[in-house]
Amino acid sequence: MSTPGNIRQFITLTVVLLLVTIPGRTYTQNHSGFSLISSSSMHAMLRFNREAFQFENRMTSQGEAQAIVTKNGVQGLVKESPGLPHYAVSLMLPEDSKMIVKVVSAHFYDKRDILISPSKGNIYRNVQQDTLPFVFGKAYGGDAFYPDRLWKVRSPYFLRQKHGQTLVVYPFRYNPAKRILRIYDNIVFDITFQRHPKAAPSLQKPISDAGFENIFKKHFLNYSNGFKSSIKQYSAPGMLIISYGPFIPLLKDFIRWKRHTGMHVEVADVANIGRNSQNIKAYIQKVYR
């Protein structure tokens, strides 16, 4: 026979599983600077337009240096290397595929006689950034542009049942020996999705859920329902909430909001379905049959 503690643990687990399905910022991206020129199931052409930026002065052991400040760029976190912002965009591609990227065109200009301040690395919240010195590391000793490439791709991945890959663009590149900052204004990429059996880990993907459509649209620049999937769809309630009666009124605003977003929500009182874990399990199986 189940104890009240077992029931509470079961309900707590159910609530946690429900909460992780709430669309969150973890899975969304800011596509600032990226736009699609054309797109199909096996190909995409996209353009990157650099956003506005400004320089801010930093005092270092080598004198006054410049830090590049942007609104949407991700600051480089390679400690003691030039602190240069980069940008990333994710594309959806067929399963068992990976990106083959070509640069069609790239327009840039050089800013000379400039010292770019180094990154302080990934700073933890319990560390005061102002107390850390700027250290000019190994990257400042070479006569070459850093980073050594204009772009790179990360490993393919699955976001639930969608297969994706991320393109990272470096519109700022710096040659420390010559003190030249190369700034790219406009880059056009031609991307082919090439079949590759080991493109992503073989995973048992979850059943498709319409509640994740908004997440996919925000995450993938080229998201389209045209990417067909053989994964089974279901029409069961989008969210089932099982609670003790006294707590149900506290969920009123949450339930209203989920229904406002188009999600079907069903609420069940533990008193009406049975207070032991077997009854709760049977009820869940009945609803999602």
Give, in order, the Cα–Cα distances in Å from 123 to each of 55, 64, 69, 87.
Answer: 21, 22, 17, 20
Question: Mean pLDDT of successive 10-residue segments in the chain (289 residues)?
Answer: 47 43 47 92 96 97 97 95 97 92 98 98 89 96 97 93 94 98 98 82 59 85 65 59 93 87 86 90 87
pLDDT of residue 170: 98
Give, in order, the Cα–Cα distances in Å from 160 to each of 56, 157, 168, 213, 279.
Answer: 41, 9, 22, 11, 30
Query: Which residue is associated with the tokens 């104890």?
Result: 3
pLDDT of residue 18: 45
pLDDT of residue 138: 96
How far, rounded to the nearest angstrom, does the alpha carbon of residue 44 sit from its chain's CA centroid?
19
pLDDT of residue 130: 87
Tell whether pTM > 0.75. no
Task: Render the burial of 179-202: b for 16+ CB within 10 Å, e for the rest.
Answer: eebbbbeebebbbebeeeeebbee
Question: Which residue ranges form the domains of the chain, and what is each CATH number?
Answer: 4-21+235-287 (3.40.50.10390), 31-219 (2.60.40.3800)
pLDDT of residue 95: 86
Q: Is the CB of residue 168 less than 8 Å from the CB of residue 152?
A: yes
Burial of 61 (0-12, 13-18, 19+ CB in 10 A): exposed
Alpha-carbon span 149 to 151, nearest angstrom: 6
Question: In 3D, which of 90, 70, 105 has the Cα closest to residue 200?
Answer: 90
Q: Ramachandran region of residue 53, left (φ > 0), alpha (ψ -120 to 50) or beta?
A: beta
Q: What are the CB-based long-range contacts (under 8 Å, 24+) for 17-25?
A: 18/239, 18/240, 18/241, 21/209, 21/211, 21/212, 21/239, 23/211, 23/212, 23/214, 23/215
Quickly count helices (H) and strands (E) in the chain. 5, 13
Alpha-carbon span 77 to 58, nearest angstrom: 17
